[in-house]
Amino acid sequence: MFTFIHAADIHLDSPLRGLSRYEGAPVERIRGATREALNNLVQTAIDENAAFVIIAGDIFDGDWKDYNTGLFFASHMSRLRENGIQVFLLSGNHDAAGKITRTLKMPDNVVCFPTKHAKTFILEACGVAIHGQGFSRPDVTENLAAGYPAAVEGLYNIGVLHTAATGREGHEPYAPCNMEDLIGKGYDYWALGHIHKREILHESPWILFPGNPQGRHVRESGPKGCMIATVDDERSTRVEMKRLDVICWAGLRVDCTGVRSGDGVVASVRSALEDESAHTEGRMLAARVEVYGSCRAHEALTSDPEKWINQIRAEATDVSGGELWLEKVLLHTTLSVDLKKLVAGESPVSHLLNFMNDLESDPMELSGLAELLANFKSKLPLELRSGEDAIDLESPERIREILEEARQLLLPHLLAKGLDQ
């Protein structure tokens, strides 16, 4: 019987994204989250008395150049060596893109899979054969699994592969393969990496993505960690997920329909945050809050959004005792007036609303509005102009959203007198 750890997509020192700072935000708590998670991984391997650790690619972030990150990683691998634990590393698309992996000197308990062809390592002591092939360049689009050797008879066979499998939203479709390819090899366990969301594709044999050990933005929400696999003498495997994350991401939608005042909205958010904070098991919570619903409070919220966002942030700090970071507060409430009637009526506001409706359905007008913002966008840093975090100020869908927000911003002003009644 032996135990091994399966982790992937550590993206060491990859920064947490979307956490704009504000008074009371727990800045200290997010420091080095991915490092903490790696530390937890190593500690788990030691605590579980693991025979070996598999890291199925993307140890580092592709565009990250600080060699210190590599040194930090190597020092943790040394800790595993001191505890007699071997490590199998596979380079993923990010590792192939970056320089750190290539130049880093690893302690001798670390084995790296070759990138030209698949290779098998045999661990006599536990009767295990581990097969794997790393990425030689960032954009490997051929089916690597196809070139893996057949299972070694009489041993427990593990395939290590960095792959998008049959394709997953938000992930590049690298090293594609399907279930049949993998099952057909006759392995006992496929340790996959690349997809950041934990997913068990198959149970016998086990084919699974452990997900990344630490979520880095709100789209990587929920518990994060690694897999602990325990193999008994009959080669049957028990798989268990172990949390490694120190910060837990969550997206909350708070229904504020009918709430009259900004304070009421703050109270609703507080209550939602209190509920959510109960599930973090002592971790820091990074939450995105979207407030929605038609309500009288909308007028107050749109007239001074910053004030109310700050109040909500202060409330969050208060609720959690500094253990909560509000990643973003989206005020998506709407005015509690009968928009249909307003549109149908005979007033300048009706004309305005009709005009805006016309804009929404006219692609030319939409691109005209995008034009209006194009110059502004060109002043923003490159990171906001392209790539994953880019701000969208041009797609028709986004312009429609902006128009909707503009509508919700303008209406309280134009109906101010009537709303006072």
* Nearer CB in complex with other proteins: 67/363: 67
Nearest partner of 415 among 304, 258, 302, 261, judged by Cα: 302
Q: Are 72 and 39 in contact (CB under 8 A)?
A: no
Interatomic CA distance for residues 269 and 276, integer angstroms: 11
The residue among 157 and 333 lying less far from other proteins, judged by its C-beta, is: 333
Least distance (Å) between residue 320 CB and other proteins: 18
Please identify, using beta-carbon distances, which residue of 65 and 117 lies nearer to other proteins: 65
Whichever of 204 and 421 has its CB closer to other proteins, that residue is 421
Nearest distance from residue 237's CB to other proteins, in Å? 34
From the CB of 389, what's the least distance to other proteins, in Å? 6
Q: Is the CB of 38 or the CB of 129 nearer to other proteins?
A: 38
Considering beta carbons, is residue 126 or 330 the nearer one to other proteins? 330
Nearer to other proteins, 74 or 241 (CB): 74
In the complex, the smallest distance separating the C-beta of residue 219 from other proteins, rounded to whole angstroms, is 13
Q: How far is the CB of 241 from other proteins (least distance, A)?
A: 26
Q: Which is nearer to other proteins, 185 or 260 (by Cβ)?
A: 260
Task: Tell the smallest beta-carbon distance from residue 356 to other proteins (Å).
Answer: 6
From the CB of 78, what's the least distance to other proteins, in Å?
11
**Minimum CB distance to other proteins, residue 339 (Å):** 9
